[in-house]
């Protein structure tokens, strides 16, 4: 039997990243993700990797840009305010089509907000939080195993699509401990990095940029990026279906909110209510088709989020025309995490 470890989510991310071949970590301390840089500062030297605690989130994400430009697997992690600071560079890397990983163990806001679990960064993550109209791959793990698996997947998809990837978690999935079964990175064919900077080395000059001033150049570049996003939507949308096939009401939510919702769904089933859970795993690309298809039959959706309503907009855009979408949100702060009983109450209200 495979070895099982009992680790926190943040550690699972680190283990997944190192297993995926990431040898460059650049970060800056912020709660609730400090165990990521701490782990990396300990472990990177053991795998001949590089750890730098940079002078800021801005510097750390730009270091990622540099390492990624050479074709190396590089990552940074932070929490909401720090992610805001990284946004300029993320926009650049989206424009440059540089693969890399950014982890957001998000906290509540706006502003300094608090350190509790929150999903207030959904818009920032999936709508191109920086300037210029772009998307990045966004994955939302809901378990420790997923923190590990999706980190590995993020690196692969980032390279396949030449796009920055983000893991969007929070203090719940970051800090809780659960069993993790580590495993080698699944074999996946990856494209050659014929764009990576290496010094000409007798070949053609290579350069990486995001400035396009020629007539029509930038428009063409944007359409190219758009086509890539469309392809990702078609091929890479991922979600979890839990008891949705016969459901009369489908609860949805991502990450930590989906964990609580799942418990509520099981409680509802015990009471004989036909309730299921549809949990987006990729937030970008959003699994729109899954919602469209499920709501051909099931006309009631209850979306639960730790904010005042963000993913619900994408849910509404995705469901069948005659489906009802209800929302239950708790913009978090200390003592604001909803209980399964609370969500069960909402299920009964709309069932």
Partner 1 sequence: MHQVFKRPVSLKDVQTHFCPGCHHGTIHRLVAEALDEFGLQQETIGIASIGCSVFLYYYFDIDVIETPHGRAPAVATGVKRARPDRFVFTYQGDGDLAAIGTAEIIHAANRGEHISVVFVNNTTYGMTGGQMAPTTLLGQRTSTSPTGRKPEVEGFPIRMAELLSGLDGVAFSARAAVNTPKNLMDAKKQIKKAFRYQGEGKGFSFVEVLAACPTNWGMNAIEANERVGREMCEYFKLGTFKNTAGL
Which residue ranges make up the site for partner 1 (CB under 8 A)? Answer: 24, 26, 50, 52, 54-56, 58-60, 62-70, 72, 74, 88-89, 92, 96, 197-202, 205-211
Which CB, 81 or 309, lies closer to partner 1? 81
Cβ 61 to partner 1 shortest distance, Å? 8
- Minimum CB separation of residue 88 from partner 1 in Å reads 5
Contact 17, 38 (CB under 8 A): no
Among residues 35 and 57, whose Cβ is nearest to partner 1? 57
Q: What's the CA gap between 162 and 44, in Å, rounded?
A: 24
Kind of pairing between the strands at 324-329 and 50-53: unpaired
> What is the nearest approach in angstroms of partner 1 to the Cβ of residue 74?
7
Residues 6+ apart with CB under 8 A from 285: 137, 229, 232, 233, 236, 237
Minimum Å gap between C-beta 20 and partner 1 is 16
Q: CB-side exposure of 91: number of CA atoms within 13 Å?
A: 15
To partner 1, the closest distance from the beta carbon of 109 in angstroms equals: 23
| Partners of residue 12 on adjacent β-strands | none
Inter-axis angle of helices 311-318 and 288-297, to 10 degrees? 60
Distance of closest approach, residue 54 Cβ to partner 1, in angstroms: 7
22 or 180: whose CB is closer to partner 1?
22
Phi, psi of 22 (to 5 degrees): -70, 125
How far from 120 is each of 15, 109, 182, CA to CA, in Å? 26, 7, 30
In the bound state with partner 1, the residue whose beta carbon lies nearer, of 24 and 327, is: 24
Contact 256, 172 (CB under 8 A): yes
Rounded Cα distance between 101 and 165, Å, is 5
Kindly tell me which of 44 and 343 has the beta carbon lying closer to partner 1: 44
Nearer to partner 1, 96 or 257 (CB): 96
């Amino acid at each position: 039997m495979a070895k099982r470890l009992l680790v926190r989510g943040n550690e699972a991310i680190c283990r997944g990243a190192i297993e995926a071949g990431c040898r460059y970590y650049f970060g800056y301390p912020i709660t609730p993700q400090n165990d990521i840089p701490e782990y990396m500062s300990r472990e990177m030297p053991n795998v001949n990797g590089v750890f730098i605690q940079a002078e800021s989130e801005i510097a750390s994400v730009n270091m990622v840009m540099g390492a990624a430009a050479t074709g190396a697997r590089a990552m940074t992690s932070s929490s909401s305010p720090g992610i805001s600071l990284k946004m300029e560079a993320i926009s650049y890397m989206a424009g440059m089509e540089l693969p890399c990983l950014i982890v957001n163990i998000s906290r509540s806001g706006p502003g300094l907000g608090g350190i509790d679990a929150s999903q207030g960064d959904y818009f920032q993550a999936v709508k191109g939080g920086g300037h210029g109209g772009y998307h990045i791959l966004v994955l939302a793990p809901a378990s420790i195993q997923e923190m590990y698996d999706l980190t590995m997947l993020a690196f692969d998809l980032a390279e396949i699509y030449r796009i920055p990837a983000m893991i969007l978690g929070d203090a719940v999935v970051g800090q809780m401990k659960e069993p993790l079964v580590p495993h080698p990175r699944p074999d996946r064919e990856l494209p050659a990095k014929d764009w990576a900077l290496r010094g000409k080395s007798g070949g053609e000059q290579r350069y990486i940029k995001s400035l396009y001033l020629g007539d029509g150049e930038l428009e063409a570049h944007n359409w190219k990026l758009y086509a890539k996003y469309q392809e990702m939507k078609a091929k890479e949308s991922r979600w979890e279906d839990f008891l949705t096939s016969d459901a009369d009401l489908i609860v949805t939510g991502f990450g930590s909110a989906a964990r609580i919702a799942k418990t509520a769904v099981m409680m509802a089933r015990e009471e004989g209510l036909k309730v299921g859970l549809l949990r987006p795993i990729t937030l970008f690309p959003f699994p729109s088709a899954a919602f469209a298809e499920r709501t051909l039959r099931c006309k009631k959706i209850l979306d639960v989020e730790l904010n005042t309503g963000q993913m619900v907009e994408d849910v509404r855009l995705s469901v069948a025309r005659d489906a009802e979408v209800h929302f239950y949100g708790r913009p978090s702060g200390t003592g604001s995490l909803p209980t399964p009983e609370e969500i069960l109450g909402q299920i009964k209200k709309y069932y």
